[in-house]
Structure 1
Amino acid sequence: MTHRLTLAVSIALALTTASAALAQPSDITEEIIVTADFRQAQLLDLSASASVIDAQTIKSRSAVHLDDVLNTAPNVNFSTGASRGRFFQIRGIGERSQFVEPINPSVGLIIDGIDMTGIGGGATTLDIQQVEILRGPQGTLYGANALAGLINMVSGAPTESFEGELNTTLAEYNTRTASGVVSGPINGQWGYRVSLSQHLSDGYQSNAFLGIDDNADYDEQTARGKLRYQPNADLTLDLTALYIDVDNGYDGFSLDNTRTTLSDEPGHDRQQTAAGSARLEWQATDAYRLIGLLSHANSDLEYGYDEDWAYEGLCEDFECVFDGYNSFDNYLRDNRHTSADVRLVSDNAVDELGWVAGAYYRDQSEDLRREYTYFSEDFLSEFSTENRALYGQLDIPLAQRLTLTTGLRFEQREADYADSDGAVFAPEEDMWGGKLALEYRDARDHRWYGLVSRGFKAGGFNSSQSIPAEDREFSTETLWNYELGWKASALDRRLQTQMALFYQDRDDVQTKQSLVQPNEGDDCPCSFTDYTTNAASGSALGLEAEVNWQLNPMTEVFASLGLLDSEFDNFESFAHVKADDETGEPYDLSGHDLPHAPNYQFAVGALFDLTEHWYARVELEGKDAFHFSSRHEAQSDRYELLNARLGYRADSWEVALWGRNLTDELYQTRGFGAFGNDPRNGYETEPYYQFGEPRILGVDATLWF
């Protein structure tokens, strides 16, 4: 931890010195506005650690899903175990998978005001103008589903004049993407925006048994419609409709730890979502505004996989120590949720008292059907939750350049669960979170802040009757976040920097464990029963820094760095691979890194306007090795990925060549350790991995009108 802290301080001092030496007063650059906060604010005016991934970054990578760009933000990670990276982690906190049990997400996901938390497979990037990532607990703003932070995806708004865009992409692995956007006014009060896209690809896996190379294919369609009603300057109503249809293949793990599988029943990862939101903003008086948000989403999800990763008759073609087994596991979920948020927001000058007061309601239901080869009947469960909250915030000017911000949220949660095995749970709990921030703006308008915030994550239960009685329920997790930050601009705002140094203290850390039980007799193959329990505590110390610098009219450079030292405190695990089953002694995980929490993560790149029409963009991203789970010692490899784009841009069209992972780095996005699934070696335990995207080259063509 010491050498990483030294590096963090060194970077902070270097950036502070550079900004101080180069500071100048004028403002010629376009401001980045963060919409996820109570008040829309410029990124450099937000007293919190936040990143914004803009439309240019999304386009430069030909990104079609959030997981294509997420690595550009410091201390943000994701896990697969599916066709997409649909589980997110911020500062080492976040879920990594979902099977039978309902989950309480740690990272919130909002798309155009629609709460998509927990169903990140639908985070496609059609017409997305920016992705806002708020790091640290959002206990006042978003409550129980944002313990680690929030991801807010914002698409384009209706325009005052007619405009449109058509885009098509062709790439390796039979990849084809087509999208279109049209936007404009209907009349003096109404405007519209409509966007459509379809993404098709054979994917990056092959199946030697079936003789196919599209067993992990992509078939993703997105449609979005927006209406804006603005009868006068005091009233705005935004309506959004969203439809997502994902029908992807999933065949991610191989007995040989390669991208070539032997499955006889390749799996699938499907999502069909119909959703909508309404946002009303009314300037009720000169003193305050009323903001109301209402959203509803109905999602049908299906996730299934060949559990044995092989074909029936494998042991007839290969020499096996034990006879193989053959099974398929399939999960069908009907996920529905509605959320409503109403708040009053004061309109005040910088040196005046500001306030926010609001009320929140969220209703969610999730019905599960599990179809499994060894079940005589399908497993069924019904789960529902209701969350109600009151919250408020005060911005108190203490002096001309000094402001104190206080926030508090009180939230009540009721849950009901019942399943076909006879398990019934009905927990209720009260939770609270908030923040206290002190902000100072110096004479150069640089912003310094100190922040203490508290987040919370609801407790829950484990439904399986094989789980010991004392582990059937687990407690609410809480997180205290202590943060120091600095944000500044210089060189006529051509140089922009932001930095945050933080320490997080977690209590009753919710973590996944597994029970391993032989199916018959004492020999494997074994069944694995996941369950959630509480570690006593955990902590993390880290740094986040971002720099954007317009060196000259032709060159822009940008970089981000995340350092993270996270660990469990006072946690003894019976489920860890090193626990002693014979003596009953657990394995002490105190000091062990948290899962999916690399010690460092970086992205650096440059954009070159080579001529009036030609441009080039080069990016390098990387992250340290990280553990996949607290149940075993399997780790990813450290890796660096090189991405590039070369384009020609005219007044109304553009053509570009692009590549991702140009050095064809082999890296892992999900892993299992101490796992035996190969009858050829007698089900000896070994690590297995799902791999990230290989090198892919493509061409884009865009037409504007």
Structure 2
Amino acid sequence: MKLVKTPIAIMLLNLITHAAYAESSATNQTADEQSIEVIQVHSGYRTTNLQNTATSLSVLTEQDIAVRNGQNLEEIVGAAANVNFSSGSQRARYYQIRGIGERSQFKEPINPSVGLIIDNIDFSGIGSIASTFDIAQVELFRGPQGTQFGANALAGLIYMSSHQPSDEFEGAIRLSAGNYHSYSAGLALSGPASDKVNYRFSAEQYSSDGFITNTYLDREDTNNRDELMLRGKLAIEASKELTIDLALIHADFNNGYDAFSLDNDRNTLSDQPGFDEQQTTAASAKLMYRKFSGFDIVSIFSLMDSDLAYGYDEDWSYQGMHPYEYSSTDHYLRDRTNYTAEFRLVSNNRSQLFANTTDWVIGAYFKQDDEDLTRRYTYLDGDFSSDFSAKNSAVFAQLDSELTKKITLTSGVRVEQRDSDYHNSQGVKFSPDDSMVGGKLVLSYQADKDAMIYAAINKGYKSGSVNTSGSLTKEQRVFKPEYLWNYEVGYKRQLLNNDAYIRAAAFYMKRDDIQISSYHLDERSDGSSEFISYWDNAARGYNYGIELEAAWQVTQQAEYYASVGLLETEFEGYRYANGTIESGRDQAHAPQYQFNIGINYYLNDQWYFNVNLDGKDNFYFSDSHSEKSDSYVLMHGSISYQQANWQLKLWARNIFDKDYVTRGFYFGNDPRDGYDSKAYYQLGEPAVLGATLNYQF
């Protein structure tokens, strides 16, 4: 296995070695003095301790999110090993885990490889509104989660949960201001509405001019952000046997989109800048019924209605710039809804199987997805429209068997059926269906109260579908389901009287019939080209690597932390449009290494400092061309002053204003060089500086 020896990886390994050596000489501390927080994982069938969860999983707490000073999920995932995201939009909609995940969506309905769930509502593929305000925890699962989450978790899953309602009244205000005319104001209120009902409400408005200057229009706000997020929650104790948790989300994101430049810088020439807007109203209900002596009933329902509008100036320029220019806009307007229902029977301590050694879960799941698309494109005679609907039905079961006091065997299976219907205004119709099976087998060994070792085999899947563009050949229309086998071993340990921890995992994933995003170019009579994306299957692929996370509370003042992801990927057997067959290359958006390393330092009860580094190796932008990003290292930091109920923080991301790329294409779009094909990039955010005031009451 070819692993990259970065300085950060070596530093982390030295830290781990030092921590292990120092364990025997660590000073004694009481439980009240322990500094490393015990983190609970809430998205599973049962709540578990992170250190005892037998899978590769990163959990970002509210404190971790605050350290990153992130407004959106895309700004905090750099803290997790082997998690990446792609742009091509104002906010990231798609994420990649261990090198697997989609990167964009145009006309085709997408089957996400990485799911996104917020407060039990499925936002897979439309993650732009993943605001972090009032979020309590983000759980990032690496590897297939087929038993519990099914077809939307081939590569992994991101689960975000906002704060729960509190038993006593409390509130918080957050005010923030930064460069690029960035401002935000947030309010959270929580407390009892009655003896049986607790509530929580939060609201935040964020606005920014963005990081682009449109020199043609003489404007600095064509790539702006205007984002409103409202959340509400009720925790209802309907009776001693029945509890109900309700969540409501309303998001109104009216963002501009003017990110690509003919000169690959932050100065654009668009005369018709684009937009990336999303208005979503969604709700979920989780009911737990404990009337029966042998099991509990858990029911989860959700609904989501979203209007999405995405468009861009295709020529990235203005009329009159060049004699051989073209002028075009491309707009995609979507109405998307989904409904989910899940029913579980969960054993309790009175219904364990096999001489009270085995907990069990059985359940059923249903999901209805509907998406209506209208495309308004300069080169179409009229609007293109399509209607898509899909129904997913699944049954699942899981057993957690205590073979001995230290050894546990977890086995799970999920059988899922997907039926879909599609038709569009070009006369394309299809009704594909897929039957898929996933599951897991995990053996864990609790060596002692501080150390756990596990070995796992997981099978994940995602459904196939049909490409719908009228200009594709018959052979390019159909693509099949993809399956993934994941083999993983892991080790988790608390050290130094719980002042330090290590979490490590090594994995090997075998992918069959990989779904890859490809494209071809249709040349127009004026010399420009139409960019046509479509999905296809590669024959096979492999993803393998290592993930390490560690933290050490060295003194009462200083805590070091680090995460490192090492990754090797390959796909082969794919036949390109020119007839050549791929014999082996790295997969797209799959950097060979990623790292985050930092220090929290508490000078005293009032002053707090943080400095951390994010690093990422270069990676291919696409499976169909050879353009790559550059590797980079970014520095972030903050200084905080805190009193009893308020905190003032000065913070910065990308302190040294490094240029780095989050999305790349390769085609001809510049009339000044005769539309010769070359690389075009979307840049990540520059140096972002700000001040934040937090007030609790």
Under a length normalisation based on structure 2, what TM-score does the superposition of the two structures give?
Answer: 0.96
Q: Contact (CA 8 Å) 1:572, 1:590: kept in 2 or not?
A: no
1:281, CA displacement in angstroms? 1.5
Q: Structure 2: how far apart are the matches of 1:136 and 1:490?
A: 26
Check whether the contact 2:215–2:268 (CA below 8 A) recurs between aligned residues. Answer: yes
Partner residue, 1:168: 175
Out of 593, 614, 621, the residue aligned to residue 600 of structure 1 is 593
Q: Supply the distance in 1 between the matched residues of 2:47 and 2:221 (Cα, whole angstroms).
A: 44
Q: 1: distance between equivalents of 2:695 and 2:420?
A: 50
Task: State the partner residue of 1:458.
Answer: 463
1:566-585 residue pairs with structure 2 within 5 A?
A: 566-574=569-577, 584-585=578-579
- CA deviations on 1:457-513 (whole Å, 9 max, x unpaired) are 000001123211122111000000000001111222111110100000000000011
1:617 corresponds to = 610
SS of residue paired to 1:200 = strand
Counterpart position of 1:352: 357
Match of 2:631 among 638, 654, 660: 638
Deviation of the 1:36 alpha carbon: 1.4
User: Aligned partner of 1:297: which letter?
Assistant: M
Query: Post-superposition shift, 1:568?
Result: 0.5
Q: Which residue of 2 aligns with 1:89?
A: 96
Hey, what's the Cα distance between the residues in 2 that align with 1:284 and 1:450? Answer: 36
Q: Aligned equivalents of 2:362 and 2:15: distance in 1?
A: 40
C-alpha separation in 1, matches of 2:664 and 2:476: 25
CA shift for structure 1 position 230: 1.5
Match of 2:668 in 1: 676
Task: State the alpha-carbon separation in 1 of the partners of residues 66 and 658 from structure 2.
Answer: 22
Aligned equivalents of 1:16, 1:46: Cα separation in 2:
23
Cα distance in structure 2, aligned partners of 1:625 and 1:59 = 28
Matched, 1:497 2:489: no
Give the equivalent residue in structure 2 for 1:210: 217
Question: Does 1:340 find its partner at 2:347?
Answer: no
Q: 1:84 is paired with a residue of what secondary structure?
A: coil
Q: Distance in 1 between matches of 2:133 and 2:293?
A: 37
Hey, what does 1:375 align to over in structure 2? 380
Match of 2:546 among 532, 543, 546: 543
Q: Deviations over 1:515-535 (max 9, x none)?
A: 211122xx6201121111100
Is the Cα–Cα contact under 8 Å of residues 214 and 268 in structure 2 kept in the other structure? Answer: yes
For residues 126-141 of structure 1, what are the structure 2 equivalents within 5 Å?
A: 126-141=133-148
In the aligned structure 1, how far is the partner of 2:645 from the partner of 2:17?
Answer: 41
Amino acid at match of 1:661: N
2:297 to 286, 290, 294: 290
Q: Is the 8 A contact 1:661 1:694 kept in 2?
A: yes
After superposing the two structures, state which structure 1 stretch, 269-278 or 614-623, moved more: 614-623
Code of the aligned partner of 1:244: A
Aligned to 1:580: none
After superposition, where does 1:86-485 map in structure 2 within 5 Å?
86-232=93-239, 234-315=241-322, 323-348=324-349, 352-485=357-490
In 2, are the aligned partners of 1:205 and 1:261 still within 8 Å (CA)? yes
Distance 1:413 1:662 in 2: 47
**Structure 2 residue 599 is matched with structure 1 residue 590:** no
Shift of 1:348: 3.8
Q: State which of 511, 535, 553 in structure 2 corresponds to 1:506.
A: 511
In structure 1, what is the Cα distance between the partners aligned to 2:619 and 2:296? 46
Given that residues 206 and 225 in structure 2 are in contact (C-alpha distance below 8 angstroms), is that contact kept between their aligned partners in structure 1? yes
1:695 Cα offset (Å): 0.4
Q: Is the 8 A contact 1:19 1:488 kept in 2?
A: no
Instruction: Provide the residue aligned with 1:64 in structure 2.
Output: 71
Give the SS at the match of 2:195: coil
Q: For residues 200 and 593 of structure 1, do their structure 2 counterparts lie closer, same or farther at Cα, with a shift above 3 Å needed?
A: same
How far has the Cα of 1:59 moved from its partner?
1.9
2:129 aligned partner, one-letter code: G
Q: Is the 8 A contact 1:19 1:489 kept in 2?
A: no
Give how far 1:287 is off.
Answer: 3.9
- What corresponds to 1:653 in structure 2? 646
Residue in structure 2 matched with residue 685 of structure 1 by the alignment: 677
Deviations 1:338-366 (A, max 9, x none): 00111111224998211110100000000
* In 2: Cα distance, 1:14 partner to 1:196 partner: 41
Structure 1 counterpart of 2:589, one-letter code = H
Query: How many angstroms apart in 1 are the aligned matches of 2:583 and 2:71?
Result: 39
Question: How many angstroms apart in 1 are the aligned matches of 2:269 and 2:467?
Answer: 33
Are the aligned partners of 2:3 and 2:566 in contact in 1 as well (CA < 8 Å)? no
Q: Is the 8 A contact 1:461 1:474 kept in 2?
A: yes
Counterpart of 1:641, as a letter, is L
> How far did residue 377 of structure 1 move?
0.7
Task: Measure how far apart 1:443 and its partner are.
Answer: 2.8
For residue 86 of structure 1, what is the amino acid of its counterpart? R
1:488 paired to 2:480:
no
Give the letter for the 2:639 counterpart: L
1:253-286, Cα deviation, whole Å (9 max, x unpaired): 0001110000000000000000000011122345
Identical-pair percentage: 44
In the alignment, the residues of structure 2 paired with residue 630 and residue 18 of structure 1 have an alpha-carbon distance, to the nearest angstrom, of 41
Letter in 2 for 1:694: P
Matched residue type, 2:482:
E
Cα contact 2:268–2:316 (8 A) shared by 1:
yes
**TM-score (ref. length: structure 1):** 0.94
> Which residue identity is paired with 1:538?
G
8 Å contact kept, 1:61–1:658: no
Which structure 2 residues correspond to residues 18-57 of structure 1 after superposition, within 5 A? 18-19=19-20, 22=23, 28=34, 29-57=36-64
Q: Which residue of 2 aligns with 1:515?
A: 520
Name the CA distance, whole Å, in 2 between partners of 1:87 and 1:277.
22
CA distance in 2, matches of 1:488, 1:16: 13
**Are the aligned partners of 2:3 and 2:567 in contact in 1 as well (CA < 8 Å)?**
no
Given residue 492 of structure 2, which amino acid in structure 1 is its aligned partner?
A: K
Tell me if structure 1 keeps the 8 A contact 2:19–2:496: no
**In structure 2, the residue corresponding to 1:280 is in which secondary structure?**
strand
Task: Indicate which of 558, 564, 580 corresponds to 1:555.
Answer: 558
Taking the aligned partners of 2:348 and 2:515, their CA distance within structure 1 comes to 40
Contact kept in structure 2, 1:139 and 1:409, CA below 8 Å: yes
**Deviation string for 1:283-318 (max 9, x for gaps)?**
234542211100000000000000000001111xxx
Q: CA deviation at 1:232?
A: 4.9
Letter of the 1:553 partner, please give it: Q
**CA offset at residue 233 of structure 1?**
5.1
Number of residue-to-residue matches in the alignment: 686
Q: 1:443/1:125 Cα in 2 relative to 1: closer, same or farther (>3 Å)?
A: closer
Matched, 1:694 2:686: yes
- Residues 403 and 20 of structure 1: is their aligned pair in 2 closer, same or farther, counting only changes over 3 Å? farther
Indicate conservation of the 8 Å contact 2:357/2:403, yes or no.
no
Give the aligned partner of residue 525 of structure 1: 528
Contact 1:254 1:262 in 2 (8 A): yes
| Partners of 2:22 and 2:496 within 8 A in 1 | no
Distance 1:3 1:483 in 2: 17
Q: Whole-Å Cα distance in 2 between the matches of residues 641 and 291 of structure 1?
A: 44
Distance in 2, Cα, partners of 1:220 & 1:348? 46
Separation of aligned partners in 1, 2:67 and 2:103: 28
**Which among 667, 683, 703 is matched to residue 695 of structure 2?**
703
More displaced 10-residue stretch of structure 1: 511-520 or 258-267? 511-520
Deviates more, 1:482-491 or 1:439-448: 439-448
CA shift for structure 1 position 404: 0.9
